[in-house]
Chain A
């Protein structure tokens, strides 16, 4: 079946550096993606979304890039902070939501 998957299960980043979390998807028809952040003991929370008619979308300290040619998207976090430590999921917004397995971001102070 169709799926989304993150490239790395874990990522460690020095505080202040930029983080890049990558995700691949398999469904060519997918046209809308969401990144979720899940902090310890909490449910996933929406960070940013992107539609397939866009290559890039920016939020506050976060940027999502979409490459439809290779079916790849990435989440970039600028000036990573300790509060960014969490598990990050990319999701293909075919209802119901199909999630990747998550990348655990650890921020080293």
Chain B
């Protein structure tokens, strides 16, 4: 069964900390995505990547960065966590040219 694995289900971090959210997929997918999900706002795209070492800004990239050193791994980095980054973070992947996304189970991040 194909999988997208997010390293943590729940995280609590302090304001100002540097936070790493990890996502790994075992499907040899080219495309990987990071979304955040908030009540009333749905899923909003933060960053995405179509290839190793490649990244593109989504709709809300401010306060975030990403790293894609290997095809299977896409990391989301909060350089200096703030309380307004408390959210559910979802990683997804897809094959190049494919129309189907596979999502991870999400990481619920709380910044205190």
| Number of A positions contacting B (CB below 8 A) | 20
**B104–A43 contact, CB under 8 A?**
yes
Contact-size category for B: 20 to 34
**B90–A49 contact, CB under 8 A?**
no
Task: Tell yes or no: A65 within 8 A of B by CB.
Answer: no
**A102–B4 contact, CB under 8 A?**
no
Prevailing SS type, chain A contact patch: loop
**Of the residues A45, A97, A102, contact of B33 by C-beta under 8 Å:** A97
B41-78 CB contact bits vs A (8 Å, 1 = yes)?
A: 11101001000000000100000000000000000000
User: A95 to B92, alpha carbons, bound, how many Å?
Assistant: 12
On chain B, the residues within 8 Å of A100 by CB distance are 42
Binding site for A on B (CB under 8 A): 4, 31, 33, 35, 40-43, 45, 48, 58, 90, 92, 94, 99-101, 103-106
Q: List 9 A-B contacts (CB under 8 A).
A: A9-B40, A32-B99, A34-B99, A43-B103, A46-B100, A95-B94, A97-B92, A99-B35, A100-B42
